[in-house]
């Protein structure tokens, strides 16, 4: 048995560390968290000062048993990551293994290298209970919000929704940005450009002001038909471009998205792998600092590869003064290692990290800028021609992104220039941009909401919960008007361009709009940007030992819980966002677009009237804000009778909760490409026949209500209420009715879903 047991979170990390330690050390993995608040129930004793009840996860009982056995008679070293989450893992390990966290050795390291591991072994500490408390505070506050607020959303908005302190704020940002985009009205103006000739050289230039409307542009061009053009000023200025700081978690996510097209989740998965393999330093960090050793190693690499004149030592100041995560930026563990990673994505990410870290210790790029002012004899405005030459590449040698040189010919004040063409082109003001994943990370960081470890799971959650879709938008055509002055004549030349096209942008769904409005109105503190950022600052204070976590949670809960209690009085009508879009020309009844139990819908008639209202789903690509009366009237034509099957059964077409379909009896066929308003009888028959063939392949045998079917996970027996598995060594086609009924009788009843809400504590 080994004298020392080192416990880390991941098997890959364990394998890497074991290489650096001798035979007296065994390195095992906890496979992440081993204890947590159980998923079922709140497991927080609110009346007893928010005391949590933790339990070992069902899938970790074997891991804990093995760790307990290995810990007997050994010195235990807790070596989880050096952030709050890692500190909590270490504390939970101590609790589960019955170790004293105030005496058990705790080691931390920022990189998985032999010197770092050996240094950590020489300098152990104990579990930092302040960091543990900060993690507990976050976990418990988020559980309280989710557990108490989610059922409110189920009752008032829609079943299955969830709310969260960071999640709901992220959704609000996306919803409000989309509304800003829809409200934005582009304003047009005219940009005037010209191509001048000086000898054989061409000089592109732009007028120093924009013209308001096409009449102004026409008049201006008419006024320069006979104009002469003269160089009246030349300015030459040296400039520099400086490298950015080495990566923090959020800047890595943003740059990997911009340069490599990676999602936030993909970036973090690959970075985790690089870290565990010992290729980069810890990838969850707010810091831009580099260690003295790293700076020296970078200097050596730069001077060796590029020369002394490319090196410039820098230390970047961390923006977040209370950065509580690992205290160094993301960098390679060895700058001499030019490539790392076990697959193409990891290799690309490593190269990006290497380049950014190396560039941060290199000299500025030197730029020579020139600007030529060109006067117009018949007008007051001037044309400006700009040139830029990269005089010394500096850091851009490894971290590019520079533009091509624009070199102007040799000119002097007083030179005459000849205008080849002068063009006035309509340009449009640009509205707010939709969030990409990386842009959302940047915004959350600017607002102080969340921390590096929360961004990826938050962005994943808002998508999996159906609040946000990452999608490509096609855009729309618009006309661009152009006037061209050439050879003394002004000619119009119009063209079209696509506006509003977007790739991989986050777009809110209808449920996001309704949920956000509901939370802003009735739970403003939960989605308030400043409040959410303030909570993060309070977590930092707990981590620094300046505030007790239970006091912090108590202060939050005394304001939050009354909002939950008062929500019982909120009517569903207040939540539905009903908008009258017109009257039905036949009945005169109002038609409204509103949000119902199953999502956005149309309603014809008043809910309170004696006649029950009619309902129809929103047409495809329409929203509560954009649906028109014409679209609504078409939607109310459904369901429509398309025709009959060959056997004489009626075929109906409609749109349901899960999209358009045709129906024959109790059989439904989803429409993938066809429109239920226009699908023909022949096409509907064809789809019905295909569906029958699929259903026939599913059915093995039928005994009245009891059926033997082929399912997604193999053959099974069902009566519609219970399902029974069929053993792999049994041929389902040979099962008799009596055997099928016996298997059903022995099968467990279907588990009921649901969320049993804990009663609120009684007020004293």
97-142 pLDDT, tens per residue?
A: 999 988 999 999 988 999 999 999 999 999 999 999 999 999 999 9
Q: Is 296 helix (H, G, I), strand (E, B) or coil?
A: helix
Q: Give CA–CA dist 183/327, Å, rounded.
A: 43
Please tell me the predicted confidence (pLDDT) of residue 52: 95
Compute the chain's Rg from CA coordinates. 33
Please tell me the predicted confidence (pLDDT) of residue 573: 65
Residue 108 and residue 29 in one domain: yes
Ordered alpha helix ranges (H), 431-570: 437-447, 452-464, 510-522, 529-543, 549-566
Please tell me the predicted confidence (pLDDT) of residue 306: 96
Give pLDDT tens digits for 219-245: 999 999 999 999 999 999 999 999 999
Residue 326 and residue 371 in one domain: no
| Domain total of the chain | 6
Average of per-residue pLDDT across 591-599? 77
Residue 560 DSSP label: H
Pick 140 or 574 by higher pLDDT. 140
Decide: residue 500, CB within 10 A, 0-12 exposed, 13-18 middle, 19+ buried: middle
Residue with tokens 């730069």: 302
Kindly give, in sequence order, each residue whose CB lies less than 8 Å from that of residue 666, ignoring residues fewer than 6 positions away: none
Q: Which CATH number belongs to the domain containing residue 294 in this structure?
A: 1.10.290.10
Pick 609 or 558 by higher pLDDT. 558
Return the percentage of the chain with pLDDT > 70, whole number. 94
Residue 306 DSSP label: T
pLDDT(759) > 50: no
Decide: residue 18, CB within 10 A, 0-12 exposed, 13-18 middle, 19+ buried: middle
Give pLDDT tens digits for 345-380: 999 999 999 999 999 999 999 999 999 999 999 999
83 in Cβ contact with 453 (< 8 Å): yes
Give pLDDT tens digits for 3-17: 899 999 888 889 889
Q: Give CA–CA dist 267/312, Å, rounded.
A: 29
* Residue 39 pLDDT grade (very low, low, confident, very high; cuts 50, 70, 90): confident
Least confident residue range of 303-317, 558-572, 608-622, 654-668: 608-622
pLDDT(666) > 90: no
Average of per-residue pLDDT across 404-413? 87
Give pLDDT tens digits for 678-705: 899 999 999 988 888 887 778 888 898 8
Q: Which CATH number belongs to the domain containing residue 235 in this structure?
A: 2.70.20.10
Q: Give CA–CA dist 560/109, Å, rounded.
A: 39
Please tell me the predicted confidence (pLDDT) of residue 575: 72
Average of per-residue pLDDT across 725-747? 90
Q: Give CA–CA dist 35/91, Å, rounded.
A: 10
Kindly give, in sequence order, each residue whose CB lies less than 8 Å from that of residue 511, ignoring residues fewer than 6 positions away: 157, 158, 161, 466, 467, 595, 599
Please tell me the predicted confidence (pLDDT) of residue 1: 53
pLDDT(656) > 80: no
Pick the closest to residue 205 from 337, 68, 387 (CA basis): 387
Please tell me the predicted confidence (pLDDT) of residue 286: 87
Considering 107, 127, 147, which residue would you say is the last residue of a domain? 127
Considering 359, 391, 420, which residue would you say is the last residue of a domain? 359
Residue 647: give the domain boundaries.
640-699
Decide: residue 232, CB within 10 A, 0-12 exposed, 13-18 middle, 19+ buried: middle
Whole-number average pLDDT of the chain: 89
Residue 613 and residue 672 in one domain: no
Please tell me the predicted confidence (pLDDT) of residue 751: 61
Please tell me the predicted confidence (pLDDT) of residue 762: 43
Q: Give CA–CA dist 576/518, Å, rounded.
A: 9
Decide: residue 270, CB within 10 A, 0-12 exposed, 13-18 middle, 19+ buried: buried
Ordered alpha helix ranges (H), 97-213: 114-122, 129-156, 165-183
pLDDT(147) > 70: yes
Residue 591 and residue 616 in one domain: yes
Residue 721 DSSP label: S
Residue 194 and residue 342 in one domain: no
538 in Cβ contact with 451 (< 8 Å): no
* Residue 326 pLDDT grade (very low, low, confident, very high; cuts 50, 70, 90): very low
Residue 226 and residue 192 in one domain: yes
Taken in order 674, 678, 680, 684, the sign of the CA dihedral is: positive
Please tell me the predicted confidence (pLDDT) of residue 403: 67
Residue 346 and residue 264 in one domain: yes
What is the set of active-site residues? 282
- Find the distance separating the first CA and the last CA of the chain, reported in whole Å: 56
Residue 316 and residue 238 in one domain: no
157 in Cβ contact with 163 (< 8 Å): no
pLDDT(602) > 80: yes
Pick 595 or 59 by higher pLDDT. 59
Least confident residue range of 195-209, 466-480, 566-580: 566-580
Does residue 741 form part of some domain? yes
Please tell me the predicted confidence (pLDDT) of residue 451: 82
Which range, 179-188, 651-660, 675-684, is most confident?
179-188
* Residue 168 pLDDT grade (very low, low, confident, very high; cuts 50, 70, 90): very high
Considering 375, 396, 428, which residue would you say is the last residue of a domain? 428
Average of per-residue pLDDT across 507-515? 89
Phi-psi region of 50 (alpha: psi -120 to 50; beta: other; left: phi over 0): left
Q: What is the pTM of this model?
A: 0.78
Pick the closest to residue 196 from 370, 426, 368, 376 (CA basis): 376
Residue 631 and residue 644 in one domain: no
Please tell me the predicted confidence (pLDDT) of residue 142: 92
Least confident residue range of 314-328, 366-380, 400-414, 665-679: 314-328
Average of per-residue pLDDT across 706-711? 89
Please tell me the predicted confidence (pLDDT) of residue 490: 94
Residue 17 and residue 122 in one domain: yes
Residue 344 and residue 270 in one domain: yes
């Amino acid at each position: 048995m080994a004298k020392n047991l080192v416990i880390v979170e991941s098997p890959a990390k364990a394998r890497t560390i074991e290489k650096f330690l001798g035979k007296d050390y065994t390195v095992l993995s906890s496979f992440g968290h081993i204890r947590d608040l159980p998923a079922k129930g709140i497991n927080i004793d609110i009346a007893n000062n928010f005391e949590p009840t933790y339990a070992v996860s069902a899938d970790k009982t074997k891991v804990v048993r093995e760790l307990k056995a290995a810990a007997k008679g050994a010195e235990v070293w807790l070596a989880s990551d050096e952030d709050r989450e890692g500190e909590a893992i270490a504390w939970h390990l101590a609790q589960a293994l019955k170790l004293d966290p105030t005496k058990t050795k705790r080691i931390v390291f920022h990189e998985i290298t032999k010197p770092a591991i050996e240094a950590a072994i020489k300098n152990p500490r104990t579990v930092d209970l302040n960091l543990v408390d900060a993690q507990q505070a976050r976990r418990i506050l988020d559980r309280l919000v989710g557990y108490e607020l989610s059922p409110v959303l189920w009752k008032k908005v829609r079943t299955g929704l969830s709310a969260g302190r960071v999640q709901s704020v992220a959704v609000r940002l996306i919803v409000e940005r989309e509304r800003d985009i829809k409200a934005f009205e582009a304003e047009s103006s005219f940009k005037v450009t010209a191509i001048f000739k000086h000898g054989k050289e061409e000089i592109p230039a732009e007028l120093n002001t924009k013209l308001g409307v096409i009449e102004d542009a026409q008049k201006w061009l008419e006024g320069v038909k006979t104009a002469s053009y003269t160089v009246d000023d030349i300015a030459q200025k040296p400039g520099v471009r400086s490298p950015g700081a080495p990566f923090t978690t959020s800047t890595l996510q943003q740059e990997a998205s911009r340069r490599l097209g990676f999602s936030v989740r993909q970036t973090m998965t690959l970075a985790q792998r690089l870290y565990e393999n010992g290729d980069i330093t810890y990838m969850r960090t707010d810091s831009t600092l580099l260690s003295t050793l790293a700076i020296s190693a970078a200097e050596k690499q730069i001077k060796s590869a590029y020369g002394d004149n490319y090196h410039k030592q820098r230390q970047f100041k961390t923006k977040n003064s209370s950065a509580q995560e690992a205290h160094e930026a993301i960098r390679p563990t060895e700058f001499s290692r030019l490539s790392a990673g076990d697959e193409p994505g990891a290799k690309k990410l490593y190269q990006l990290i290497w380049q950014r870290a190396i560039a941060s210790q290199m000299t500025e790029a030197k730029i020579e800028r020139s600007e030529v002012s060109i006067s117009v004899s018949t007008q007051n405005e001037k044309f400006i021609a700009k040139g830029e030459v990269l005089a010394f590449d500096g850091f851009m040698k490894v971290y590019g992104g520079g533009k091509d040189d624009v070199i102007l010919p040799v000119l002097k004040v007083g030179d005459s220039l000849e205008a080849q063409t002068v063009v006035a082109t309509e340009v449009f003001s640009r509205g707010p941009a939709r969030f990409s994943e990386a842009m959302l990370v940047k915004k959350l960081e600017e607002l102080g909401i969340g921390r590096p470890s929360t961004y990826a799971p938050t962005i994943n959650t808002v998508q999996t919960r159906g609040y946000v879709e990452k999608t490509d938008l096609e855009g729309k055509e618009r006309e661009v008007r152009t006037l061209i002055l050439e050879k003394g004549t002004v000619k119009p030349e119009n063209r079209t361009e696509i506006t509003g096209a977007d790739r991989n942008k986050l777009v809110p769904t209808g449920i996001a709009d309704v949920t956000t409005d509901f939370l802003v109105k009735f739970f403003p503190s939960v989605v308030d940007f400043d409040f959410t950022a303030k909570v993060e600052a309070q977590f930092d204070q707990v981590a620094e030992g300046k505030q007790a976590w239970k006091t912090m949670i108590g202060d939050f809960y005394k304001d939050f819980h009354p909002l939950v209690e008062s929500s019982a009085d909120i009517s569903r009508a207040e939540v539905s966002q009903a908008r009258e879009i017109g009257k039905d020309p036949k009945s005169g009844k109002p038609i409204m677009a509103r949000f119902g139990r199953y999502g956005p819908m149309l309603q014809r008639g008043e809910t309170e009237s004696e006649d029950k209202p009619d309902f129809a789903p929103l047409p495809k690509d329409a929203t509560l804000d954009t649906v028109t009366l014409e679209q609504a009237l078409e939607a109310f034509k459904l369901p429509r009778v398309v025709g009959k099957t060959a056997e004489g059964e009626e075929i109906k077409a409609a749109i349901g909760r899960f999209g358009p379909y045709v129906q024959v009896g109790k059989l439904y066929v989803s429409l993938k490409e066809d429109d239920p308003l226009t699908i023909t009888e022949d096409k509907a028959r064809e789809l019905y026949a295909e569906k029958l063939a699929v259903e026939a392949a599913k059915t093995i045998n039928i005994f009245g209500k009891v059926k033997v079917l082929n399912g997604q996970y193999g053959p099974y027996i069902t009566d519609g209420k219970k399902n029974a598995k069929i053993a792999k060594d049994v041929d389902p086609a040979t099962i008799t009715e009596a055997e099928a009924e016996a298997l059903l009788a022995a099968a467990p009843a279907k588990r009921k879903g649901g969320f049993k809400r804990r009663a609120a504590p009684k007020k004293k």
